[in-house]
Structure 1
Amino acid sequence: MRPNTPTPLKEEESKASSKMSSPESAETCLAQNVQAAEESMDYRTRRKDLLIVERNQVWDLQTRLEASEVEVQAAGIVFKIREHERRDLELYGNLPSEAVPGPEVRDMGGHFLSNKSRIEGSLVFDISRHMPKGCHLHIHFNTELPPEMLLPHARRLKDTMFVRTTRPLLARDDFEKAEIVFNVMPKTTTSADIFSFEYNPDVKAELTSPWMRWADFRLSFPHDLVYEERPEGLDDAECWAREKMALTAERVYSDKQTTNGIWACFNQGTRAFKGLMNYESVYRWYIGEAINSMIRDKVMYAELRPMLMDKTIPSDDGLRQLDHSAQMKIICEEVKRKTKELEDKGELDKFPFGLKIIYCTPRSVPKARMQTELLDCIKLKQEFPNLICGFDLVGAEDRPNHIGFYCDLLVGFQKTCKDLDLTIPFMFHAGETLLDTGGSSDPEKSNLYDSLLLHCKRIGHGYSLLKHPLLIEKYKQQNICLELCPISNELLHLCGNIRQHPFPQLLAAGLHCTLNADNPSLFRRHSDVGAWLETTCSVEYPAQLLERRREEAGNGNI
């Protein structure tokens, strides 16, 4: 058999292939193709077309198209100021570089508590503070004002303000681990000694009382503890109590902190706040001051969320109890008084739409108790039809129960409201979780499903909604609005900082969103503006959109 011999054609192909595989030929070929690409507009045209298509689908397209020349100019100015402050070493200054940044450098949109003082010195913050904000739709009633405003009032109740702790305060470790609770009680109440070995913290003990008079507690409190902050005018005991009520940077950002751990700190703070503001004189004062706080922040309408499972609050002497009806009357009286005060000054435009109340109760209660809560909400709505505006279930979503646990009660509530010609929309906390399993190990118990099926008007947080492409479309179809609370989500460990928050993605998905403070005092914010500023630093939020939000609040569209 004769061996294969190359034909002349194959010899030519082999020579050409050898020539093309040489480094010199590859270099020439690449250079020619790069030059051809440079001369061609194909890629640039396709890229431009892609950007045009996306630009025509952005969530705020209509607002941008309708923006006036002044609004466009204002948005551009704010953007330039923001970018200047990002590079300003006195504020942030952490720019991309191989150099290891010094301790004075911060990330814009980094840890909120670490950045708090710099945020408050920011021009963008000052601009945000002065801009109108149509409404504040997610704020818990007992955490609108900081503890340093409440503690001086507690001093005045020398005989009737009491405190208890969950352990005797003997060693430094006790001060770190103890929880504190306030309560107004009759002056005849026997005062315990929390600083004694014999102190019994059990509130159910028959022969002893765990309550110590606050005035005595302050006098006996040690003076050698160190605090993260020391507000002017507060003594050592008050500084210690304040740090129990507000989340500290050490607790939030500790490398050993867990999601459940920070929630425990949060709940302890909530319980401490409750006793400091839930008594007659401060309850009344609190409403006016809360409105003043909103006026300072240019908020024109608010919906506050009191936890109403406790049915009474005490009078200042601890001898009388004010039920829900009495509490709601106080709110109505104080709103009316503040409205008249603004009218007399010709300043009603500063808070033109007033405030309303969303009835809140925890998801952890048994079904029988939930039925009582639903009935109480209906009765309050009947008595105060213009005040009660919704019903909410609250609590850490990684703990039982999920909303569906109460489905029959909630459906029955809706039918009862319809029969009685009442409008009490659901505004559940839902999606404020990473697990998103409704306090179980079953993903199908996500509260986001039940919030949809029960026709919520809005949901609180909605952080985990992006896990559910179907629900995103359903929420859009039902016009369910998300009450986003970015700073709250950071401090409770849903995200590491504001830049990691899914707010831009939720907007891009076409969902209705509002920005909210949630629990400003627990999060060391004396202002509701922080949420606006932090988001402004993280997403391009057109200045003209804020004006649209103000108009929507006035028209009742949210």
Structure 2
Amino acid sequence: MKRYLTYILLLGFPFFGGQNKMAGQSTYAQDWKLSEQKNEALAFDADIKLSDAEIALDKKLFQLRKQVLTEAETQKISLFNSSFNELKPLIETSRLFKIIRTMPKGGLLHSHSGGLADVKWVISAARKYKECYVYDQKDNEQYIFGQLAFFARENVPAGFVSLDKKLTSNPGFEKELQDLLTLKRDKLCTYTDYWVEFEKRFKRINLLLPYRPFFKEYYLKGFQDLAKDHVQHVEIRFIFDELYDFQHGKYPLKMSITDLQDVLKQVRRTNPEFSLKLIYSSFKFLDPKSVEKQLETAFELKKEFPDMISGFDLVADEAAGNSIYSFQKDWMKLNELSKKYGVDMPLFLHAGESNSVFNKNILDVSLLNNRRIGHGLNLIYFPATMEEVKKQNKLVEVSPISNQILGYVSDLRNHPARVLLSNGVQCSINSDDPSVYGYEGLSYDFWVAFMYWELDVKALKKLVFNSVNYSSLNKDQKKEAIVYLNRQWNDFVQKGNDSLN
């Protein structure tokens, strides 16, 4: 009996202790799983349920991501410490990019007038006009080297030469001009005042676009490129200017809208689902009185074209311009103007395009009738406002490549959008000014988001459908657009699975 008691003492207690240890491990595993589920439930795409076909595609895209990582390692490319410009050849040769190019993108909600059409095309198209000139002298207060413009022959300013003759006599100038119209961040560690260079790119073409014949050509090309990249809806932060030609002189401001409507009809001949909205845009560096006049003009145009003008924004470098708060008197007049003109004017303000907590523009967006936020990079520094934005169901328009090139984010794995998405803030993917950054369409931005943010098909699907659900389309238009997008998405999933078998 003593012997049995000895065995129980020696072996029994460890046995019971092992049971307690196993129970503890089981509880830990359960708690770990519960913690994972709680975090997943907070994510922006928690409501998405994938079909078997989507799950199959998800596994295949995961393998394609691994292939990119392997290829980068083989080529000794530092994937996470390289600029978009350095990675562009790798992106374009990857199977992942070929699949993403076939993916329906829904809507491009954040783009700018003057940032759509490919610069090679811009030079080629402008060259055909005998009245197109280029400034080939040193910068002065009025013009900068490489600036393009249309002039009547008798009114060409000093320093401008015929673009066609310049390119004919100096073929190498075409490549030089392409570089002058494109902003590249060649290395992540080099210093450049990117906003100064960015604004120079727009200055070099800002005298091209008001010329009415070129204006129509430009937007036709830009829209066709987007449609080719499976974008079905576009919203442009549009800077209104009086169009002109040399036969009639200047046209009324609304001619831009009627011409864009004509361009839209041309695009719809081959892409009947394609749609367009314009967000009337002014500048942050103007004073409140000037912005008040711009708001009045925006309301006048929206009253006449309620289906084209969707809202109002202020653009330009946030670090150099006035704060959104400084225009508070203008925002307080919105209701009065709405009653006067009989139309609503929601805001689509750029806010938080900054790395600094001292930039507090993001605080305004939860207090105003601001439906979407342009960039919103520093929203993560204001947790209460981030929660308000989430509660108010406002969307952040994210432009990853733009954010890297302009110097806000270097390693895109650290992009603030990853924090927003995991906290349930709704976002969409945008290209901002693709032609200025040296590419067309929206596929490149989806590629970098997928790779750097470790997304899956569920996240891609949510981002794509957000771009239509949070668009400025009216209720009936949105319903129709979603039906089309669903059909395109299902087709993409099927063909994607077939091509990756």
* Both proteins in one fold, TM over 0.5: yes
Aligned to 2:63: 80
Distance 1:304 1:108, change over 3 A: same
Distance in 1 separating the partners of 2:70 and 2:255: 53
Per mean C-alpha deviation after superposition, the further-off stretch among 119-128 and 280-289 is 280-289
Aligned to 1:246: 182
The Cα shift of 1:546 comes to: 4.2
Contact 1:191 1:213 in 2 (8 A): no
Aligned to 1:198: none
Give the 3-state SS of the residue equivalent to 2:109 in structure 1. Answer: strand
Aligned to 1:451: 365
Per mean C-alpha deviation after superposition, the further-off stretch among 404-413 and 44-53 is 44-53
Asked if 1:141 corresponds to 2:113, the answer is: yes
Instruction: Identify the match of residue 264 of structure 2 among 331, 335, 345.
Output: 335
The Cα shift of 1:476 comes to: 1.1
Matches within 5 A, 1:540-551: 540-548=454-462
Amino acid at match of 2:429: L
Q: For structure 2, list consecutive stretches of 5 or more residues without a partner in the other structure.
A: 1-13, 473-501
The Cα shift of 1:541 comes to: 2.7
Asked if 1:360 corresponds to 2:281, the answer is: yes
The Cα shift of 1:129 comes to: 0.8
Distance 1:372 1:220, change over 3 A: farther
TM (norm. structure 2) is: 0.83
Distance in 2 separating the partners of 1:327 and 1:161: 23
Amino acid at match of 1:401: N
Matches within 5 A, 1:5-404: 40-43=22-25, 45-58=27-40, 59-60=43-44, 62-64=46-48, 66-88=49-71, 92-93=72-73, 104-107=76-79, 110-163=82-135, 165-167=137-139, 179-192=145-158, 194=159, 211-218=160-167, 235-250=171-186, 253=188, 255-257=190-192, 261-308=193-240, 311-315=241-245, 317=246, 320-339=249-268, 341-342=269-270, 348=272, 352-404=273-325
Deviations 1:385-433 (A, max 9, x none): 1001111111111113111111101220243124433122101110101
Contact 2:428 2:466 in 1 (8 A): no
Asked if 1:526 corresponds to 2:440, the answer is: yes
Instruction: Identify the match of residue 474 of structure 1 among 380, 385, 388.
Output: 388
Distance 1:85 1:127, change over 3 A: same
Distance in 2 separating the partners of 1:220 and 1:150: 19
Contact 2:110 2:374 in 1 (8 A): yes
Distance 1:409 1:60, change over 3 A: closer
Amino acid at match of 1:49: D
Give the 3-state SS of the residue equivalent to 2:251 in structure 1. Answer: strand
Distance in 2 separating the partners of 1:553 and 1:433: 23
TM (norm. structure 1) is: 0.75
Distance in 1 separating the partners of 2:173 and 2:358: 40
Aligned to 2:352: 431
Amino acid at match of 2:441: S
Amino acid at match of 2:348: M
Give the 3-state SS of the residue equivalent to 1:256 in structure 2. Answer: coil
Distance 1:555 1:479, change over 3 A: closer
Distance 1:322 1:162, change over 3 A: farther
Amino acid at match of 1:312: E
Per mean C-alpha deviation after superposition, the further-off stretch among 179-188 and 127-136 is 179-188
Distance 1:550 1:119, change over 3 A: closer
Distance 1:43 1:270, change over 3 A: farther
Aligned to 1:413: 334
Aligned to 1:24: none
Distance in 2 separating the partners of 1:286 and 1:431: 30
Contact 1:476 1:510 in 2 (8 A): yes
Contact 2:239 2:280 in 1 (8 A): yes
Aligned to 1:489: 403
* Count of aligned positions: 454
Give the 3-state SS of the residue equivalent to 2:293 in structure 1. Answer: helix
Deviations 1:148-199 (A, max 9, x none): 001112212223435365538xxxxxxxx9643222121111452x4xxxxx
Contact 1:353 1:554 in 2 (8 A): no
Per mean C-alpha deviation after superposition, the further-off stretch among 482-491 and 538-547 is 538-547
Distance in 1 separating the partners of 2:386 and 2:322: 23
Distance 1:219 1:334, change over 3 A: closer
Matches within 5 A, 1:499-514: 499-514=413-428
Contact 1:143 1:273 in 2 (8 A): no
Q: For structure 1, list consecutive stretches of 5 or more residues without a partner in the other structure.
A: 1-31, 95-102, 169-176, 195-210, 222-234, 439-445
Per mean C-alpha deviation after superposition, the further-off stretch among 132-141 and 533-542 is 533-542
Distance in 1 separating the partners of 2:387 and 2:311: 24
Give the 3-state SS of the residue equivalent to 2:154 in structure 1. Answer: coil
Give the 3-state SS of the residue equivalent to 2:206 in structure 1. Answer: helix
Q: Percent identity?
A: 22
Deviations 1:56-82 (A, max 9, x none): 432156445x21111111111111111
Distance in 2 separating the partners of 1:167 and 1:460: 32
Contact 1:143 1:519 in 2 (8 A): yes
Give the 3-state SS of the residue equivalent to 1:293 in structure 2. Answer: helix
Contact 2:403 2:409 in 1 (8 A): yes
Give the 3-state SS of the residue equivalent to 2:88 in structure 1. Answer: helix
Distance 1:37 1:376, change over 3 A: farther
Aligned to 1:442: none
Distance in 2 separating the partners of 1:87 and 1:298: 28
Give the 3-state SS of the residue equivalent to 1:275 in structure 2. Answer: coil
Q: CA RMSD in A?
A: 2.8
Distance in 2 separating the partners of 1:219 and 1:299: 36
Aligned to 2:431: 517
Distance in 2 separating the partners of 1:54 and 1:323: 58
Deviations 1:75-128 (A, max 9, x none): 11111111122112xxx117xxxxxxxx74231584211101110111111111
Distance 1:60 1:67, change over 3 A: farther
Distance in 2 separating the partners of 1:536 and 1:544: 11
